[in-house]
Amino acid sequence: MDYLAGLNPSQRSAVEQTEGPVMIVAGAGSGKTRVITYRVAHLIQKGVDPFNILVLTFTNKAAKEMRERIMKVVGQEAKNIWMGTFHSVFARILRVEAELIGYPKNFTIYDTDDTKSLIRAIIKEMNLDDKLYNANHVYGRISSAKNNLISPQEYNKNEAIMAEDISNGRGQLGQIYMTYAQRCYRAGAMDFDDLLFKTNVLLNKFPDVLHKYQHQFKYLMVDEYQDTNFSQYLIVKRLAAVNENICVVGDDAQSIYAFRGANIQNILNFQKDYPDVRVFKLEQNYRSTKMIVNAANSIIEKNQNQLEKNVFSENEDGEKIKVARAFSDNEEGKIVAEAISQEKALKGLQYKDFAILYRTNAQSRAMEEALRKLGVPYKLYGGTSFYQRKEIKDLIAYFRLTFNPNDEEALKRVINYPRRGIGDTTIEKIMVAADQQQYRLWDVVANAQMFLDGRSATAVGNFALMIQSFQAAAKTASAFDVAMHIAQHSGILKDLYEDKSVEGLSRYENIQELLNGIKEFSEREDLEEKGLDIFMQDIALLTNDDNDKDPNADTVSLMTIHSSKGLEFPAVFIVGLEENLFPSQLSLNSRSELEEERRLFYVAVTRAEKKLHLSYATSRYRWGTLNNCEPSRFLDELNPACLELDFHSKTAANMYTDGGFQSERVAWKQRETDTFSKPKPKMVKTTSILPKAHVPTQGFAPSDTSRLQVGMQVEHERFGFGKVVNLEGNKPDVKATIFFKELGQKQLLLKFAKLRIVE
């Protein structure tokens, strides 16, 4: 029981409460992973069979880390726990039960590229405008429907949904969804959302299957419960219905995935779902300094919809949070790059100790340019993962066809790669024949002589024979031997080897790396099943956090805040703290959207261990137009006693000499107090560091600005009263330069400005 000795009282109580419904509210940096792993280990130590424990995570990385920690306590028994991501665990169940819902056990899992490719093909076949019916939008609509358990049939019967589509000019969305579902079924394929959707169908339609898994999984644990969607919520609720030994772990303050369908109400309402729940709060932050924790608390306390907790730190007080203002995004990049170079030299840090976080991927450009100029090495997260590279997807498509010849996306991808004389016309004939005869594409390909003639029939017939030879090899050979056989006899290795360009060599090396990975997989001793089909399932279910990243590489990390969740760094730079960028302009329509943006800022701040830098620019290019920017409201919401203006570089110092920001600096300095005289200081209520928000005139309504003239007085909802000093440009892109009494001069695009002309 030594493993319990290292836990604080709250952690230990959560670990030892093994029976009944439990909710663990885990603040940032509070040792959540330790509690989950020790709780599972404690169950096994008490005699619970590992096969009866189900642990659901959101990344393979988290599951792997937890299993390794559990193994240190209980040994090899940890291998028998059902542990993994929602998608990987329920894909495993569907492999066993798929035939009940009409799917083969060896169904293909379509990734996002496969899904969008099929959607684009359907849009083209239906002769729809691919700009109006953008594949990304259609995919998002279908994904949202599935996550809310709305089938294609229900979608097309729902008057409200159809009315919304028609009003948006996309009245055919329901038909696209229906056709997409039919094509996936015909191809024996499920997309990521189907893995949850079909699991719900399975548990709903087959009570005996539900009964089987309810009694197998006597103990359920769900990590990051605040990120679950409706589909995940329902699966967990059904599986836990018999024993109710369910433990959910999460932090409502870190719920930032509403755009993916995550529903924060799942964690907020858990106590309503299970009235006898035991709630444990992990409130001690072991990651960050007191200064950073205090600042984070001052942010999140502004949210109304949250679970009450008091996060504190017993670490050192730490340095104040530095805030920098730049004239432009390029200047901001320069300030950040210089600060990293200086802190590395002065504080003895490594480049990998630094992270730059931003709201949108587009912001990385200015940061990358500045880092390159100073010779600072960096790693951009969110780029193309290894398994998304073309040559890798090509070879994997052959693997997929070998185990599921009905996989139409894989077939279309490689039927003429490498080139074998099967042109677009022949492929079109195959698709027409399949539609007319209600056959699968493979049925036509495997019987080419019946549907094609001449050289086309021969070429397609030879392709079918090749795939059939791969299928025969897969029945007896190891995963690596099958993969090597396919790579050689498909012609991919030869095609890439003959390309002597730098890019060609890189692609050839990537194929070698894939084969190396399969070799390692086939030699793993911890796996019972080591076939190539199992390897493909594993890589199909990789999450964004599982991409090939070398944790030991000495590089600065650049990523969006969403990508940073779950990570921590000694020094963090949060850039672009400007209104309409962070918080995003798209999130200002409701309190719930704004509160999610605030939670996103909270997540960003709590990534920092020792040092935190914030910055914003007063101007930034968007869509080729230079726009004036105002500081984010989130700067205003931070406890100013935690903040300090950053004079770390000559460039920065020069910027703070102008009169406007000088007054902000003085106001800041006047309000700085010693916040940490007590272990758990209360938040100091202070006045704004930025100009006071304007209260619009009662009945405020924007005027028709087509009659606006220089010299007119206007009112803006937030900027207040001002005078038009210049108008330039042609309709509809007329820009007005307005001098506001409180803020000074601003340039606004009239079609977005919402101005009231003061008569």
Token look-up 């890439």 returns 496
Residue 224 falls in the annotated catalytic set: yes
Of residues 635, 634, 630, the one with CA closest to residue 645: 635
In the set 16, 17, 18, 33, the catalytic residue is 33
Distance CA 442, CA 406 (A): 6
Residue 28 annotated as binding?
A: yes
The C-alpha angle with vertex 628 and arms to 621 and 650, in degrees rounded to 5, equals 85
Residue 281 falls in the annotated catalytic set: no
Residue 32 annotated as binding?
A: yes
Is there a contact between 470 and 485 (Cβ–Cβ < 8 Å)?
Answer: yes
Q: What is the DSSP string of 422-452?
A: --HHHHHHHHHHHHHHT--HHHHHHTHHHH-
Residue 560 falls in the annotated catalytic set: no
Sheet holding 744-749, edge to edge: 744-749, 735-740, 720-728, 713-716, 755-757
Residue 30 annotated as binding?
A: yes
Q: To which H or E segment does residue 497 belong?
A: helix 492-497
Residue type, 755: L
In the set 97, 114, 223, 329, the catalytic residue is 223
Residue 557 annotated as binding?
A: no
Of residues 542, 525, 531, the one with CA closest to residue 399: 531
Of residues 619, 603, 107, the one with CA closest to residue 326: 619
- Backbone angles phi and psi of 53, in degrees to 5: -110, 130
Distance CA 648, CA 653 (A): 7
Residue 32 falls in the annotated catalytic set: yes
Distance CA 376, CA 668 (A): 32
In the set 224, 394, 546, 637, the catalytic residue is 224
In the set 254, 560, 606, 705, the catalytic residue is 254
Residue 565 falls in the annotated catalytic set: no
Residue 31 annotated as binding?
A: yes
Distance CA 342, CA 558 (A): 18
Distance CA 455, CA 450 (A): 13
Residue 590 neighbours by CB under 8 Å, 6+ apart: none
Is there a contact between 486 and 402 (Cβ–Cβ < 8 Å)?
Answer: yes
Distance CA 487, CA 516 (A): 13
Residue 29 annotated as binding?
A: yes
Instruction: Report the 10 Å Cβ neighbour count for 51.
Output: 13
Residue 33 falls in the annotated catalytic set: yes
Helix (DSSP H) and strand (DSSP E) numbers for the chain: 33, 22
- Which residues make up each annotated binding site? 26-33
- Which residues make up each annotated binding site for ATP? 26-33
Question: Which residues are designated catalytic?
Answer: 32-33, 223-224, 254, 607
